[in-house]
């Protein structure tokens, strides 16, 4: 796995990796002490400082069980060439396997559908450059070649990739547009969740009201940083959690099974051609259904 430090990063290596990966700090220390982590090509200590432009390579032991192709999982491929594939991920689908869950993921589906995937992220996460939460739908790009993976990873680290989302929020925003600039880190009371916390990593989310609905707002977002659960955490922080969010909000709403958050569009530079590309994913049916219900309540 290769990571490119973002411009505002300046923190301990083990802390940085705990935020950027699913590994614990103790496991990261084991990897570092075992020479399986490189910082700019050299073996660092776990307490080394990560700075702008640093390149981090992680080489964990290969898992006993690797991801296996599964042709029975549906996957909506919006675009494909020799370097990349662009996917419209459905709600309810986990992106990649993890210990305890090696099946029924997007990676399993892609291994069955695509001829190749980048090997940089290892046997469990081939081709995965960025992720969407299990219950977040929408557009994402995967790398079919290592050169594409490196290019896309750098673009994400340098914040030149444009990620736009839409969501239904509980309640009504006071301001029709604005910016949320609040640091995000692990929730000290539940390490599986994130929260706005002092000393967290800087997280910036721009938002704009698209439509007032009955007891809810339909809102567009652009994230300028890529923190875990960023929009969901920031929405909760301003008092308007994403509708249907079972971790940060009130849970199921009008038959939803997870948050009404959709990755609407993604803009990036093609790793091989240099062409700027934008892909837009249509709203899933459950999202459209909730909008129809809320509009009907308002008589629209």
- The reported pLDDT for the residue numbered 222 is 98
pTM for this entry:
0.83
Q: Closest Cα partner for 86 from 60, 65, 106?
A: 106
How far, in Å, CA of 233 to CA of 30, rounded? 30
Question: Which member of 14, 54, 83, 133 is catalytic?
Answer: 133
The pLDDT averaged over each successive group of 10 residues in the chain (300 residues) is 70 84 80 91 89 87 70 94 96 80 84 88 83 96 94 92 98 97 92 91 96 97 95 98 96 91 98 97 96 85
- Give the position of tokens 């990796």: 17
81 an active-site residue? Answer: no
C-beta separation of 31 from 23 below 8 A? yes
Give Cα separations from 85 to 91, 94, 282 (angstroms): 18, 17, 17
C-beta separation of 6 from 227 below 8 A? no
- The reported pLDDT for the residue numbered 16 is 84
- The reported pLDDT for the residue numbered 284 is 95
- The reported pLDDT for the residue numbered 7 is 46
- The reported pLDDT for the residue numbered 60 is 78
- The reported pLDDT for the residue numbered 210 is 98
Q: State both tokens at 79.
A: 């675009």
- The reported pLDDT for the residue numbered 101 is 61
C-beta separation of 182 from 235 below 8 A? no
């Amino acid at each position: 796995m290769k990571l490119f430090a973002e411009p505002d990063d300046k923190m301990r290596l083990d802390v940085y990796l705990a935020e950027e990966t699913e590994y614990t700090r103790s496991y990261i220390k084991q990897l570092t002490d075992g020479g399986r982590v490189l910082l700019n090509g050299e073996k660092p200590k776990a307490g080394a400082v990560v700075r702008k432009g640093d390149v981090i390579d992680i080489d964990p032991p290969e898992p006993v069980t690797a991801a296996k192709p599964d042709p029975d999982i549906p996957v909506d491929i919006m675009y494909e060439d020799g370097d990349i594939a662009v996917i419209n991920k459905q709600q309810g689908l986990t992106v990649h396997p993890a210990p305890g869950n090696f099946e029924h993921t997007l990676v399993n589906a892609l291994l069955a559908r695509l001829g190749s995937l980048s090997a940089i992220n290892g046997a469990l996460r081939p081709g995965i450059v960025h992720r969407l939460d299990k219950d977040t739908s929408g557009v994402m790009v995967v790398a079919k070649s290592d050169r594409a993976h490196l290019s896309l990873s750098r673009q994400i680290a340098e914040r030149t990739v444009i990620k736009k989302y839409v969501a239904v929020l509980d309640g009504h925003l006071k301001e029709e547009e604005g910016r949320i600039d609040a640091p995000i880190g692990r929730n000290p009371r539940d390490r599986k969740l994130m929260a706005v916390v002092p000393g967290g990593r800087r997280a910036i989310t721009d938002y704009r009201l698209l439509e007032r609905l009955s007891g809810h707002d339909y809102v567009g977002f652009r994230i300028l940083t890529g923190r875990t659960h960023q929009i969901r955490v920031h929405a909760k922080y301003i008092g308007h959690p994403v509708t249907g969010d079972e971790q940060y909000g009130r849970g199921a709403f009008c038959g939803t099974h997870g948050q009404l958050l959709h990755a609407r569009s993604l803009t990036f530079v093609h790793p091989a051609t240099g062409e700027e590309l934008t892909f837009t994913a249509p709203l899933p049916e459950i999202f459209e259904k909730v909008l129809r219900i809320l509009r009907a309540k308002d008589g629209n």
